[in-house]
Amino acid sequence: MEATKLKAPQSFTTPLNVVVTIIGVSAVASAFLVWLVYYHQATDQANAHLAFLPALNAILNGLCTVALVIGFRHIQRRQIVQHRNAMFTAFIFSSLFLVSYITNHALHGDARFPADHPTARFLYLWILLTPHILASVVALPMILVTFFFSLSGRFTLHASIARYTFPLWLYVSVSGVVVYAMLALYR
């Protein structure tokens, strides 16, 4: 028996409630992270509990990066199932990162780069504040929309937004590792 491909009509538009939900989840997550990083008082300022979390965050970002690159290679080769599996793996690593990141910030607060290395500190803050944080805020809804299009069978729309989502998601993952490495190197 020959496998048949199901084609979803490409004239679908995303229902307004899905768009509102994706934007709402992204806005709430972003607002929560701003509150957590800038306003929440850390509960473990001595860094005595779960001190491994920043390293775990970097590892999860690194694993996400690997899964993204593998997924990209699979889609270039038209290996759809392998692409899907790699992208789900990247999504899982990113989700685990987010849980670990929130836990780390709730416990330890914001990590400060030492002021006695002004050039490195400037570079660190520029990478962290300008592109990394802004890109992560933009990436979240794009990732959710890209997954939504894929899971709902809207592959043309999925491919059209994925060409922007992929490099942004990849940049956020890689720059997260760079930020951690810089902070670890100069602490």
Q: What is the pLDDT of residue 125?
A: 82
Per residue in 23-45, pLDDT (tens digit) is: 787 778 778 877 776 777 777 66
Q: Does residue 69 lie in a domain region?
A: yes
* Averaged pLDDT, 35-61: 79
pTM: 0.77
- Residue 111, domain member (yes or no): yes
Nearest to 72 by CA among 91, 86, 92, 89: 86
Question: Does a structural domain hold residue 31?
Answer: no
Residue with tokens 């300008």: 130
pLDDT at 8: 43
What pLDDT score does 48 carry?
66
Query: In the 8-state DSSP scheme, what is residue 40?
Result: S
Tokens standing for 127? Answer: 């990478």
Q: Answer whether residue 30 is part of any domain.
A: no
Please check whether residue 99 lies inside any domain of the structure: yes
Q: Give CA 90 to chain center in angstroms.
A: 9
Taking the CA of residue 149 as centre, how many other CA atoms within 13 Å lie in the half-sphere pointing to its CB? 19
d(CA 64, CA 69): 9
Asked if residue 3 belongs to a domain, the reply is no
Helix (H, G, I), strand (E, B) or coil at 92: helix
Which residues constitute the domain of residue 146?
Answer: 48-186
Number of domains observed in the structure of the chain: 1
Q: Name which residue leads in pLDDT, 167 or 4.
A: 167
Whether 40 is covered by a domain: the verdict is no
